[in-house]
Amino acid sequence: MNDRTDFGAALTRWQKPWHMLFYKELLRFRRVSFQTVVAPVIMALLYLLVFSHVLESRVSVFGGRVSYTAFLVPGLVMMSILQNAFANTSSSLIQSKVTGNIIFFLLAPITPWGFFLAYVLAGVLRGMVVGFGVWLAALYFAPELWRPVAPGWVILFGFLGGAILAMLGVIAGLWSEKFDQLATFQSFIIMPMTFLSGVFYSVRSLPDFWFKVSHLNPFFYMVDGLRYGFFGVSDISPWVNLAFVGTVFVMLTWGTWLLIARGWKLRN
Amino acid sequence: MTCAVEFQAVSRRFGELQALDDVSFKIAPGEFFGLLGPNGAGKTTLISVLGGLVRPDSGRAFVMGHDVTTDYLNSRHRLGVVPQEVVFDPFLTVRETLRFQAGYFGLRRVDDWIDEILHHLGLSDKADKNMRTLSGGMKRRVLVGQALVHKPPVIVLDEPTAGVDVELRHALWTFISGLNKEGHTILLTTHYLQEAEMLCDRIAMLKSGRVVALDHKHRLLSPFEMIVVRLTATRVPESWQARIRQTEGQSVLIELQRFEELETLLAALRADNIAIKDLQIEQTDLEQVFLRLTGSDQKQPPEKIREGRS
């Protein structure tokens, strides 16, 4: 009997069980990359084409220092990161729950942190890949963006935004019993918060009331922070953005981990 | 010696339903153990506790001495579960399914072992097929392979032959018996009493979340062991009227304690010149024990609840 146990123990030293779960999540979106990567990039470019064509000559942002098309690109990059990070974790979890194959890794010796990291990192990675694709394609329309002013801020806010939405995706995936419930979460929470976060406009152009309301939307700080990375200017200080986004990140990390550790809607 | 599996007063309630009620028993390493019970008896809940899928309200469970709640990493390394439902990942091929399952247990570079599993389960020619293209029986074989891929000393099979054709059922029986002979402890839940009778050493019977019997197969059968004669004749001798257990149409069921009594019965029939139209002899099987112990046989309520050795 011991030889079998030792076999497992010896090989375990080489690889953590959650690495395989992470790899499976990557494989899942890579296998359908047209749907998970190419289609969202095309969608973002359509937004760029339509909005920039209609509004380029009518909207002035940051006192005219930045063209509207260029202004739009970081917003669309962030929107793509957020939506795809959320879609990756939430759809993967609900699929595993509905088909029942979630049992394969619930029976495995994967810790709650391992479960958390596998899903969230895969979600962030898909978000970042799509965001990178949007940025590359958008360079055709706004070549001045080939070199962001502060690339560190771009990566930092891209990562934090992706991670926050990936965690929200985990929560939504755990909570939902069927695809319909997930669609509700996406349509009534994620989409409105994304569209009303300043992706398509500067919040300074809004009436005072809506300007204040925008500050209650955590997505606004992610978009504004990423925009600072590209232009060196933003609606509010990047440090304020970082403080807000960082706080949400820490709180959601704790909350998501706690739900997984307690087996919320996973283990009876 | 460390038990392969141990349940200590495990209870679990789902709303109004007491799914498990103070369940305690042990399974020794290398045993082939059967868990029987009607639908809703708590079999799947009990093995879900072992796999960490269900948390008990009270009590503890162990796999190879490791607590499934407080030491779950070690207990899960030592446990392989074949679930009742046929589930699969539609994105993966058969080989990938097994590779990923091995990876979930921290194993890699186990292709030789995977090839061996595929060979034993008759899946070698399906290795690179997508799981979606496999028949139900083939998918079930893959599930068995997934439970074995990390070479666990304890293997739990939850109704592995439910809805499986006769050929595959026999192939699975041979395969599982082979695993047991190699030293794996097997915990089998099944509806097929013939399956349990043929394969298992000890058997526990569950009803409404409680263990109503637990003993070696032959000891479980012995208290109920008797010979039942199904006699179809013009009439029954006066001296045997009191021995009639049941009347079914033209036939009567008569219980005998020993085969020698059959000769006495035949002699009485000859003495009274009674013509025999048909005579069949039946022996007690696990199904009758099961029906009596679980109280499903209302005509023969259990005389007592047996608590065998564990």
Overall average pLDDT of the A9-13 stretch: 48
In this predicted structure, the answer to whether residue A120 has a pLDDT above a threshold of 70 is yes
* Cross-chain Cβ contact B100/A24 below 8 Å: yes
In this predicted structure, the answer to whether residue A253 has a pLDDT above a threshold of 90 is yes
**A210-218 CB contacts, 8 Å cutoff, 24+ apart:** A217/A193, A218/A164, A218/A193, A218/A244, A218/A245, A218/A248
Q: Which residues of A touch B81 (CB under 8 A)?
A: 107
CATH number at residue B260: 3.30.70
Q: What is the phi/psi pair of residue A203, to 5°?
A: -65, -20
In this predicted structure, the answer to whether residue B297 has a pLDDT above a threshold of 60 is no
Q: Which two tokens stand for residue B25?
A: 């028993």
Say whether residue B91 is in contact with chain A using an 8 A CB cutoff.
yes
Strand segments, DSSP code E, in A12-87 are: none
Task: Render pLDDT for B171-203 as a digit per residue (tens, 0 to 9).
Answer: 888 888 988 998 899 999 887 777 888 888 898
In this predicted structure, the answer to whether residue A6 has a pLDDT above a threshold of 70 is no
Q: Which residues of A touch B64 (CB under 8 A)?
A: 1, 5
Whether A2 maps to a domain, the answer reads no
Whether B291 maps to a domain, the answer reads no
Res. B230 pLDDT band, cuts 50 70 90 = confident
Is residue B159 domain-shared with residue B271, that is, in the same domain? no
Q: Which residues of A touch B110 (CB under 8 A)?
A: 11
Overall average pLDDT of the A78-102 stretch: 93
pLDDT at B310: 36
Is residue B208 domain-shared with residue B68, that is, in the same domain? yes
Reported pTM: 0.81
Is residue B53 domain-shared with residue B81, that is, in the same domain? yes
Distance CA A105, CA A116 (A): 12
Whether A112 maps to a domain, the answer reads yes
Whether A10 maps to a domain, the answer reads no
Whether B118 maps to a domain, the answer reads yes
Residue B189 is given by DSSP the state: E
Work out the percent of chain B whose per-residue pLDDT is above 90. 30
pLDDT at A59: 67
Task: Render pLDDT for B85-128 as a digit per residue (tens, 0 to 9).
Answer: 889 988 889 999 999 999 998 887 788 889 988 988 888 899 89
The residue out of B173, B196, B217 marking a domain boundary is B217
Whether A267 maps to a domain, the answer reads no
Is residue B189 domain-shared with residue B253, that is, in the same domain? no
Whether A4 maps to a domain, the answer reads no
Whether B135 maps to a domain, the answer reads yes
Whether B71 maps to a domain, the answer reads yes
pLDDT at B159: 85
In this predicted structure, the answer to whether residue B298 has a pLDDT above a threshold of 50 is no
* Cross-chain Cβ contact A101/B88 below 8 Å: yes
Distance CA A115, CA A107 (A): 12
DSSP string, B156-181: EEESTTTT--HHHHHHHHHHHHHHHH
Task: Render pLDDT for B202-227 as a digit per residue (tens, 0 to 9).
Answer: 988 888 888 888 888 777 766 666 67
Whether B302 maps to a domain, the answer reads no
Is residue B98 domain-shared with residue B134, that is, in the same domain? yes
pLDDT at A112: 93
pLDDT at A1: 40
Sheet (strand B251-256) strand order: B244-248, B251-256, B227-233, B276-283
Question: Nearest residue on chain B to A10, judged by CA atoms?
Answer: B107
Whether A1 maps to a domain, the answer reads no
Question: Nearest residue on chain A to B54, judged by CA atoms?
Answer: A268
Longest dimension (CA), chain B: 79
Number of domains in chain B: 2
A156 or B261, higher pLDDT: A156
In this predicted structure, the answer to whether residue B265 has a pLDDT above a threshold of 70 is yes
Is residue B197 domain-shared with residue B233, that is, in the same domain? no
Domain span at B137? 5-217
Q: Using CB atoms, pick whichever of A11, A100, A108 lies closest to residue B87.
A: A100
- CA-based nearest residue to B28, from B154, B150, B152: B154
Q: Using CB atoms, pick whichever of A8, A14, A96 lies closest to residue B150.
A: A8
Is residue B69 domain-shared with residue B109, that is, in the same domain? yes
* Cross-chain Cβ contact B52/A106 below 8 Å: yes
Is residue B105 domain-shared with residue B66, that is, in the same domain? yes
Res. B285 pLDDT band, cuts 50 70 90 = low
CATH number at residue B32: 3.40.50.300
Is residue B138 domain-shared with residue B116, that is, in the same domain? yes
Whether B69 maps to a domain, the answer reads yes
Residue A35 is given by DSSP the state: I
Res. B306 pLDDT band, cuts 50 70 90 = very low
Q: What is the 3-state secondary structure (H, E, C) of B252-301?
A: EEEEECCCHHHHHHHHHHHHCCCCEEEEEEEECCHHHHHHHHCCCCCCCC
Res. B261 pLDDT band, cuts 50 70 90 = confident
Compute CA distances B106 → A17, A40, A105, B6, B103, whole Å. 4, 34, 12, 25, 5
Distance CA B43, CA B210 (A): 10
Whether B308 maps to a domain, the answer reads no
Overall average pLDDT of the B12-39 stretch: 89
Whether A96 maps to a domain, the answer reads yes
Res. A5 pLDDT band, cuts 50 70 90 = very low
pLDDT at B169: 81
Domain span at A245? 16-261
Distance CA B32, CA B183 (A): 10
Whether A166 maps to a domain, the answer reads yes
Is residue B102 domain-shared with residue B187, that is, in the same domain? yes
Whether B77 maps to a domain, the answer reads yes
Is residue B207 domain-shared with residue B264, that is, in the same domain? no
Number of domains in chain A: 1
Is residue B101 domain-shared with residue B240, that is, in the same domain? no
